[in-house]
Structure 1
Amino acid sequence: MKKLSSSVLVTACCYTSLVAAQQSSLFSTDSTTISTSHLNEILVTASRTAQSVDETLASVTLITRKDIERSQAITVAEILQKTPGVMITNSGGIGKASSIYLRGTSTKDLLILIDGIRVGSATLGQVSVEDLNLSQVERIEIVRGPRSSLYGSDAAGGVIQIFTRRGTGKLTPSFTVSAGSDGTSSVEVGVNGGDESRWYNVSASGLTTDGFDAKTSGDSDDDGYHNQGLQLKLGQRFDGGHEVEGFFSVTDSENEYDGFTDRGDTRTQVLGARSTLEIAEAWRINLSAGRSSNQSKTFSGNTFNSRYETTRDSFSVQNDLLIGDDNQLVFGVDYLNDQIESSKIYAETERDNWAGFAQYQLTLGQSDLQFSARVDDNEQFGSYTTGGIAWGMPLTDNLDMVVSYGTAFKAPSFNDLYYPNSGNAALVPEESDTYELSLRGNVQGINWQTSLYQTTFENMIAWAPDSSGDWAPSNINEARIRGLELSADYQWQQWLLSGNVSFIDPENRSGANKGNRLQRRADKIANISVDRDFGALSLGTTLHAESRRYTSDSNTSFLAGFGTVDLRASYQIAPVWQVRAKLSNLLDKEYQTVSGYNQSGSTALLTLAYQPQ
């Protein structure tokens, strides 16, 4: 097990740009990537401090901009779907309602951050994954397993942090245009630049598709989707290691679907700033503040139906203290304020959450240890304490072991508590604890990892009749999720091979459905990717497969399993010009991930990119 690097720890900054971190002369870590695992790349989400991938005491996946461009994905859900432990459900194509099941936990148990800012709807209690704008993304960090002891509510299943794009080098314009099946087209244009002292990026994008008939019944028409986005980022590094950065992103979308309401308009904004202060050689203070907002309206034809607006203001102060050569203490305070406005009348429309957290990372002999704890004080459900512990050690020169335990919780959403005529203000947070054992190694150039875990949930919120016979959310369910993940990658000459398989046993542990599998979860997921460079030409293919899933907790009906094959190619026609082509669902497989909603058949996408280096 690699020791904590003191040069990394001294310069660690929660939410700092990873690109800037790798450019800084204060970092001694080699930024060379090793195949698709990016073992020496720096990430911050797992511990709120900078660590290389192979130093983290958590199961993590890093997706870089290069990975995104190689895959030719056009949505965040599409690129996430190929990572270990991730299953995506979708209600009818691009832009339609989607959910992320990470290790069998629901979307509500997943915390999503954009540049360190908590996003999502406080009414729904989750993020609208379908509206996340992939064109704005520089990199994605995925942490599997509980992180409530560092981030609070929503992180029972894990954390996904999205870092938006930023500039480096001389002033550089870029341009990408794509066109394909189902009337799908997109365009991205931007300009960026910077050096070791400053950086900037301005980019705009548009995505539109005519779509296809999303539902298997009802109206027989195409259900389109349209998305426009703008992103700005500007930063400055000063003498003495001080930094300041500001960022803003906005996405507007219009969605067409079948039902009583048949159109939805959504705007998502994230505004944030961060600052790092080098107080002493071994002490750094990280400050961050931001506002995320989610505004949605639904219509029946041209008739207004409903409006929901969520505003989330957050502020964080974090101290990173280096103790000796290899130990580090991290502590700080987080603040979150949720406010909602709606055409519906809620009994409460605002709540505050204050939290204090601490983490200690230390090295004892060949072992790395990490202890973390957090206390959240929420004005609606009171005080809640979570904790975590992890231990990593080398078993041989090429084999490491990590053992961890963590507790987590999920606060009820405004809809759970106060939705008119159905909310339950007496709800308490869902609780969970997770045990995990991981082995990591390298055998003749093959980087591999296997993880065995178990998560137990109590007080899960589910709909049930109350004392008056009316249905409302209640803390009645319990569940146990066991799983095994295996992943590996190998690079040989110009070949790049990677794959992962997940075995998940998400079991209901209460009520009439005790012993049944939780609905909508596949119990087997597999991904295999092969890429090959032939000079200017690159070819690749990906196989994705999922087993069947039940459509109800009673397990009386199910959706069949499926497998899809994607092909991709790119050709560097000039130093700054590249043409790309992708065939998705090559075998035209018919399948559903949500009962009653179609998925696209075989589709093609052609892309022309202008990307000066």
Structure 2
Amino acid sequence: MDIKRSLLLLCSSYGSFLFAQEKALDTIYIFDSQMSKVKLFHPVRTITQKDIEKNSTSLSELLRYQSSIYIKENGRGAVSSPSFRGTTAQQTAFVWNGININSSFLGQGDVNNIPLFGYDQIDVKAGGGSVVYGSGAIGGSIHLNNVLDFNRGFKGSVFTEVASFDTYNNFAQASFSNEKLSVKVSGSYLTSKNDYKVPEFVVGSTPFDNINGRYYNTSVNFGVSYKIADHQTISWQNQIFDASQHYPIFEDNGNRTKYNAQTLRSLIAWDIQKSNLSNSLKVAYTEDNFQYFSDINQPKASGAEGKNYIFKNDFNYFITPKININAIGEFQVNKGEGYQSGIGSISRNVGSLAGLIRYFATKDLRFEAGIKKDFVEDISSPLLYSFSGKWDATPWYHAGINFSRNFRFPSFNDLYWQPGGNLNLLPETSTNIDMNHEFRLGDFKITLSPYYMDIKNLISWLPTSFGYWAPVNTYRVQSYGLESQATWNKTFGKHTLKLDAGYTYTKSINKETQMQMMYVPTHKAVGNIEYGYSFLKLYAQGLFNGLTYTSTDERRSTAIDPYFTLNTGISATVFKKYTVGFKVNNLTNEVYQTVSLYPMPKRNYSVYATINF
């Protein structure tokens, strides 16, 4: 069997190797060229633009209700961070079009300072991925992906929403493409007074009032792709984001503070895609700036500016119809400058070389092995590796196994913050193993994924005898549990019914104290049900979060109690172009927190409209 015929067979069997199917090149261009390969071996949850409409308040809300991730949010719209499989926020990688965008200063992404709109799909991948996606991809990774189509003509859409607490949310997108050129532009604007009250929740002697909770953000996205020759495409993707968060206070005469953030991301890619090989050369520039105001009416009290120059090449080649090799090289220059933080003008060079080999034994059995070495200036980095296997044993049972070593190197704040920065820190490392069991019965599918992680050299900020805090490599963490997902889709006549439910059991243990880590709920369950008839759709979402400790000693008195929240909504679509909808969030009026002392809103409402043309 010749190479091209084998590749087309693999494509039809797996539906993922877009680089191998020449016909697909006339249809779509995906900026993250690795994601199609990742999906061959790992379960990946994809969130579409239609899913986003159900949780359009923020990326935090979307991930809370439509993934297994625990989102810690200091009140609606404020500082927000993820906990993936019991790990810290720094151990989750945010990946924008194949580029790791975790902050060089914090080593993490603030979920509420990442725009929700402007992507064609959001992928959530559980488990280690440092061989491909770099530092921080220990617990999992969140992928913000853009797609450019060819031969689709002109398309456009407008989304607008008005919600409780003087919240206004708007998004518009337009695209045009022909045989050679594809262009897409979008923009979003979100503002909220965010002045909700929770009278049942008392701080001190005062019922909670989210004073000074205002926030806004705006983003602009632009993408263009041009076919410069047969099998060759040059593309440019950009994102500009500006945001401001006022931090809530508990008393009206309290000190009002705020945090401003601006990000710029620009990526140029040159892709060669043929039947048996592909190469993607990326050159990217990212910039992250922030300013903290200890008084909103005074100049900034502190801040930082980070700039990253990134060069990445991804070469993929089929030696034989069954053996595929993949070489990835990356070089970064990370620059930063702090203000009132003791961090001066700093620069760090980071390079890496990774190699992967994939073996397709049959159309039902495949393996992947990878190895990677990072070269981080002034830091000794470990050798990373990964192994994955996927077996489609029967039409109703598929099995997979993944084993990997992953890491996170110290952030700029860890190393250089003064006083406290520690230049002797070691990278965090982890050994991950997980299995995936997928069962299918007609329209019903259930996935069970047990996992285990052993994390060493965890970086923690602790108080010192000198009166300030400093980061040190502390204890080991053992994290294990089970992720499960069940889906059922059925269409009968004009009726459609979709069920999607997930349950996560997580134990994340400090191996010194044998106690559960902070802000890691042992139990989390989410469920979505959607019913459609003709032009009408009705949905409901449920979220259960178990007992969550907020201290290192499992103190029950300060723990966050279990809670259950329910959202629901209805929408109508007319002439396939115009949609209007109404949503009720927290229908049961639950009083709950995701971070101690910062309750989330009780029952609230929104109405929205979408126009497609």
Q: TM-score, normalized by length of structure 1?
A: 0.89
Q: Which amino acid aligns with 1:524?
A: H
Q: Which amino acid aligns with 1:181?
A: S
Q: Could you say if the C-alpha distance between residues 10 and 244 of structure 1 is closer, same or farther in structure 2, counting changes exceeding 3 Å?
A: farther
Q: Could you say if the C-alpha distance between residues 167 and 99 of structure 1 is closer, same or farther in structure 2, counting changes exceeding 3 Å?
A: same
Q: Could you say if the C-alpha distance between residues 468 and 93 of structure 1 is closer, same or farther in structure 2, counting changes exceeding 3 Å?
A: closer
- Pairing of 1:560-599 with structure 2 (within 5 A): 560-599=561-600
- Measured in 1, the distance between the counterparts of 2:126 and 2:105 equals 25
Structure 2 residue 87 is matched with structure 1 residue 108: no
Q: Which amino acid aligns with 1:176?
A: F
Distance apart, 1:574 and its partner CA: 3.4
Structure 2 residue 507 is matched with structure 1 residue 505: yes
> What residue number does 1:230 align with?
220
- Measured in 2, the distance between the counterparts of 1:497 and 1:22 equals 34
> What residue number does 1:141 align with?
123
- Measured in 2, the distance between the counterparts of 1:396 and 1:135 equals 39
Structure 2 residue 263 is matched with structure 1 residue 268: yes
The one-character-per-residue Cα deviations of 1:517-551 (angstroms, maximum 9, x if unpaired) are 00011111111111111101111111111101001
Instruction: Please state whether the residue corresponding to 2:410 is helix, strand or coil.
Output: coil
Structure 2 residue 284 is matched with structure 1 residue 290: yes
Distance apart, 1:198 and its partner CA: 2.0
1:484–1:502 CA contact under 8 A, matched in 2: yes
Distance apart, 1:441 and its partner CA: 1.9
> What residue number does 1:487 align with?
485
The equivalent position to 2:322 in structure 1, one of 326, 341, 359, is 326
> What residue number does 1:522 align with?
521
Structure 2 residue 50 is matched with structure 1 residue 66: yes
- Measured in 2, the distance between the counterparts of 1:339 and 1:307 equals 14
Question: Which one is further off, 342-351 or 234-243?
Answer: 342-351
Instruction: Please state whether the residue corresponding to 1:211 is helix, strand or coil.
Output: coil
The one-character-per-residue Cα deviations of 1:450-496 (angstroms, maximum 9, x if unpaired) are 00100011111123456868642111111101110111111112111
Distance apart, 1:338 and its partner CA: 1.3
Q: Could you say if the C-alpha distance between residues 377 and 417 of structure 1 is closer, same or farther in structure 2, counting changes exceeding 3 Å?
A: same
> What residue number does 1:541 align with?
540
Q: Which amino acid aligns with 1:82?
A: Y
- Measured in 1, the distance between the counterparts of 2:319 and 2:92 equals 32
Distance apart, 1:266 and its partner CA: 1.1
Instruction: Please state whether the residue corresponding to 2:224 is helix, strand or coil.
Output: strand
- Measured in 1, the distance between the counterparts of 2:269 and 2:115 equals 22
Q: Which amino acid aligns with 2:184?
A: N
Instruction: Please state whether the residue corresponding to 2:552 is helix, strand or coil.
Output: coil
1:7–1:28 CA contact under 8 A, matched in 2: no
- Measured in 2, the distance between the counterparts of 1:73 and 1:165 equals 20
- Measured in 2, the distance between the counterparts of 1:573 and 1:59 equals 35
Instruction: Please state whether the residue corresponding to 1:368 is helix, strand or coil.
Output: strand
Q: Could you say if the C-alpha distance between residues 435 and 127 of structure 1 is closer, same or farther in structure 2, counting changes exceeding 3 Å?
A: same
- Measured in 2, the distance between the counterparts of 1:403 and 1:20 equals 24
Structure 2 residue 375 is matched with structure 1 residue 352: no
- Measured in 2, the distance between the counterparts of 1:206 and 1:448 equals 38
- Pairing of 1:49-64 with structure 2 (within 5 A): 50-51=36-37, 53=39, 56-64=40-48
1:289–1:315 CA contact under 8 A, matched in 2: yes
> What residue number does 2:230 align with?
240
> What residue number does 1:362 align with?
359
The equivalent position to 1:380 in structure 2, one of 378, 389, 396, is 378
Q: Which amino acid aligns with 1:346?
A: I
Q: Which amino acid aligns with 2:313?
A: V
Distance apart, 1:20 and its partner CA: 8.9
- Listed as ranges, the gaps of 5+ residues in structure 2 are 250-254
Q: Which amino acid aligns with 2:34?
A: R
- Pairing of 1:352-431 with structure 2 (within 5 A): 352-365=349-362, 366-431=364-429
- Measured in 2, the distance between the counterparts of 1:261 and 1:371 equals 53
2:95–2:133 CA contact under 8 A, matched in 1: no
Distance apart, 1:438 and its partner CA: 1.2
Structure 2 residue 242 is matched with structure 1 residue 252: yes
- Listed as ranges, the gaps of 5+ residues in structure 1 are 12-17, 32-41
Structure 2 residue 167 is matched with structure 1 residue 174: no
- Measured in 2, the distance between the counterparts of 1:369 and 1:522 equals 34
- Measured in 2, the distance between the counterparts of 1:82 and 1:482 equals 22
2:265–2:287 CA contact under 8 A, matched in 1: yes
Q: Could you say if the C-alpha distance between residues 167 and 580 of structure 1 is closer, same or farther in structure 2, counting changes exceeding 3 Å?
A: farther
- Measured in 1, the distance between the counterparts of 2:375 and 2:108 equals 20
- Measured in 2, the distance between the counterparts of 1:133 and 1:312 equals 20
Q: TM-score, normalized by length of structure 2?
A: 0.89
Instruction: Please state whether the residue corresponding to 2:476 is helix, strand or coil.
Output: strand
Question: Which one is further off, 175-184 or 261-270?
Answer: 261-270
- Measured in 2, the distance between the counterparts of 1:390 and 1:44 equals 23
> What residue number does 1:342 align with?
338
- Measured in 1, the distance between the counterparts of 2:106 and 2:56 equals 27
Instruction: Please state whether the residue corresponding to 2:138 is helix, strand or coil.
Output: coil
- Measured in 2, the distance between the counterparts of 1:455 and 1:128 equals 24
> What residue number does 2:252 align with?
none
Q: CA RMSD in A?
A: 2.8
Question: Which one is further off, 129-138 or 170-179?
Answer: 170-179
- Measured in 2, the distance between the counterparts of 1:397 and 1:375 equals 38
- Measured in 2, the distance between the counterparts of 1:68 and 1:506 equals 30
Structure 2 residue 68 is matched with structure 1 residue 85: yes
Distance apart, 1:28 and its partner CA: 12
Q: Could you say if the C-alpha distance between residues 213 and 298 of structure 1 is closer, same or farther in structure 2, counting changes exceeding 3 Å?
A: farther
Distance apart, 1:172 and its partner CA: 2.9
Instruction: Please state whether the residue corresponding to 1:416 is helix, strand or coil.
Output: helix
- Measured in 2, the distance between the counterparts of 1:423 and 1:487 equals 42
1:249–1:270 CA contact under 8 A, matched in 2: yes
Q: Could you say if the C-alpha distance between residues 44 and 330 of structure 1 is closer, same or farther in structure 2, counting changes exceeding 3 Å?
A: farther
Question: Which one is further off, 403-412 or 150-159?
Answer: 150-159
- Measured in 2, the distance between the counterparts of 1:515 and 1:5 equals 52
Indicate the percent of aligned positions where both proteins have the same amino acid.
Answer: 20
2:55–2:61 CA contact under 8 A, matched in 1: no
The equivalent position to 1:185 in structure 2, one of 155, 163, 168, is 168
1:430–1:461 CA contact under 8 A, matched in 2: yes
Question: Which one is further off, 549-558 or 58-67?
Answer: 58-67
- Measured in 2, the distance between the counterparts of 1:458 and 1:499 equals 33
2:30–2:148 CA contact under 8 A, matched in 1: no
Distance apart, 1:315 and its partner CA: 1.0
Q: Could you say if the C-alpha distance between residues 437 and 172 of structure 1 is closer, same or farther in structure 2, counting changes exceeding 3 Å?
A: closer
Q: Which amino acid aligns with 1:388?
A: S
- Measured in 1, the distance between the counterparts of 2:546 and 2:52 equals 26
- Measured in 2, the distance between the counterparts of 1:48 and 1:251 equals 25
> What residue number does 1:163 align with?
145
Distance apart, 1:119 and its partner CA: 1.5
The equivalent position to 1:48 in structure 2, one of 34, 38, 41, is 34
Distance apart, 1:268 and its partner CA: 1.4
Distance apart, 1:605 and its partner CA: 0.9
Q: Which amino acid aligns with 2:36?
A: A
1:87–1:101 CA contact under 8 A, matched in 2: yes
- Measured in 1, the distance between the counterparts of 2:394 and 2:9 equals 25
2:531–2:538 CA contact under 8 A, matched in 1: yes
The one-character-per-residue Cα deviations of 1:210-235 (angstroms, maximum 9, x if unpaired) are 10369964895241111111111111
Q: Which amino acid aligns with 2:291?
A: K
Distance apart, 1:117 and its partner CA: 2.5
